[in-house]
Amino acid sequence: MPYLDHAATTFVRPEVLAAVEPLLAKLYGNPSGGHAVGREARRVLDEAREEIADFCGAPAQGVIFTSGGTEADNWVIDGVLDAAATRDKHRIVTTAIEHKAILEAAHRREKWDAEVIEVGVDALGRVDPHDVATASRGATLVSVMAANNELGTIQDLRAIAREVRREAPEAVLHTDAVQAAPWLDLAELTQGFDLLTLSSHKLGGLKGTGCLVSRTSIKVAPLLVGGGQELGLRAGTQDAIGAMAMALALRLAVAERAEATSRITSLRNRFLAELHDLTGAHSTVEGANVLPGHAHVVFPGMVAEELLVAFDRADLQATAGSSCASGATESSHVLKAIGLDRAAVRGAVRFTLGHTTTELDIDRACSIIGQAVTQLS
């Protein structure tokens, strides 16, 4: 079964499964419990926190666990604005291709106390650091994703941090690194940024775990109040096993990064070349710096929904638009932002390779896609 939807979610890594299974029975303590069982859960939780912090170039206390990327992204918007000293209207600067977890959370604040500027991108999905910096003057928060979930396009975060710091030294800088995390060095990538969002299930960890990482000492208002867990920022009994699984998945991704990047990049390039020869499909963002696993393509004259049904019948998984949106039939704000014409949008499909993808998967996928395109043409 050629699963090519790794950007939506990926397989739990076998090492993670092996580590989690015995703990489900053994590690039942509440990390806040003041006894040996609680202390053991606290130790597992804190080790995970320290390890993730280290990979992000953040202090250990900078990692606050959440239920995933959506929660951390939503929290950034409200937490940064609510903690800001100013009572004036806030300016949030972001991009037109952010995940909806950022865009909707930002626009929700327009009713009360914020204006939102969505900086546009070019045809390859790249934002100009200078445009971000110009829009950032007087901003409370600037949020630019590290790599886009639909296209895979990687932003120049270093240049963005440099330019925004010059124009808006007071602004809090956040990046959604959910898609970048399996592939890019997070500490290096996020230099100059205050905050980053991560999600475990994109790394081969478990669903339902993510974190907001703070590399600096900026203030973020609490997301959940109650028992005071997570430094009083996100109350609720913590999931030490989920945290451990996330740290382990990230460690494995980091350890195999060099090998996986070259293996998956060459598989992806072969896939794109064969798809082109077989069907005339072409990369939507030809020439962009994209994540190794992303192959976003346009099938000229075809309808993506029909193709996806045919793929699904043949056990090939892919997606149109972002699969976080249920059904994904609504037109993608990302494809609109890069100015793709309507005919191309209709035939646009995202395939994403990941840590388990093999040569055989690509062979199978090409054959299924070739047959589907022939049948539907």
Instruction: State the minimum distance, in angstroms, from the CB of residue 313 to ligand PLP.
Output: 25
Sequence-distant (≥ 6) Cβ neighbours of residue 263 within 8 angstroms? none
* Residue 293 contacts ligand PLP per CB under 6 A: no
| Closest-CA residue to 280 (of 373, 152, 361) | 373
240 belongs to the binding site for ligand PLP (CB under 6 A): no
- Continuous segment of H or E residues that includes residue 45: helix 36-56
For ligand PLP, the binding residues in 91-120 under the rule CB under 6 A are 99, 101
Contacts of 367 (CB under 8 A, 6+ apart): none
- Judge contact between 267 and 243, C-beta under 8 A: no
CB of 161 to ligand PLP, least distance (A): 18
152 binds ligand PLP (CB under 6 A): no
Percent composition of the chain: helix, strand, coil (DSSP 3-state, to 5): 45, 15, 40
Alpha-carbon distance 226 to 153, whole Å?
39
Q: Is 149 in the site for ligand PLP (CB under 6 A)?
A: yes
From 34-42, 133-141, 175-183, 242-250, give the range in contact with ligand PLP by CB under 6 A: 175-183
Q: Quick one: 94 or 179, whose CB is closer to ligand PLP? A: 179
Determine the distance from the C-alpha atom of residue 101 to the mean position of all C-alpha atoms in its chain, rounded to a whole number: 10
Closest CB 99 distance from ligand PLP, rounded Å: 4
Question: Residue 163 is inside which H or E element, if any?
Answer: helix 157-167
Is 324 catalytic? The answer is yes
Work out the number of other CB atoms within 10 angstroms of the CB of residue 289.
14
Crossing angle of helices 240-255 and 257-279, in 10° steps, is 80
| CB 13, CB 6: distance < 8 Å | no
239 binds ligand PLP (CB under 6 A): no
Residue labelled with tokens 């190794």: 292
Q: Which stretch binds ligand PLP (CB under 6 A): 31-39, 64-72, 151-159, 339-347?
A: 64-72
**In this chain, which stretch among 29-37, 174-182, 260-268, 339-347 interacts with ligand PLP, using CB under 6 A?**
174-182
> Would you give the binding string for ligand PLP spanning residues 207-226, x where CB under 6 A is met?
---x----------------
* Position of minimal CB gap to ligand PLP: 69
Answer yes or no whether residue 321 interacts with ligand PLP by CB under 6 A: no
Q: Which of 68, 347 has the CB closer to ligand PLP?
A: 68
Binding mask 36-55 vs ligand PLP (x if CB under 6 A, - otherwise)? --------------------
Secondary structure element (H or E) that encloses residue 133, with its range: helix 129-136
- The residue from 92, 145, 173, 272 that contacts ligand PLP (CB under 6 A) is 145
Stretch that binds ligand PLP, among 66-74, 119-127, 257-265, 339-347 (CB under 6 A): 66-74
The Cα–Cα gap between 50 and 131 comes to 35
Q: Which is nearer to ligand PLP, 210 or 354 (CB)?
A: 210
- Does residue 70 touch ligand PLP according to CB under 6 A? yes
Among 51, 118, 176, 274, binds ligand PLP (CB under 6 A): 176
DSSP state of 215: S
- The CA distance from 298 to 219, in Å, is 43
| Residues annotated as part of the active site | 324
Residues contributing to the site for ligand PLP (CB under 6 A): 68-70, 73, 99, 101, 145, 149, 176, 178-179, 199, 201, 210, 324
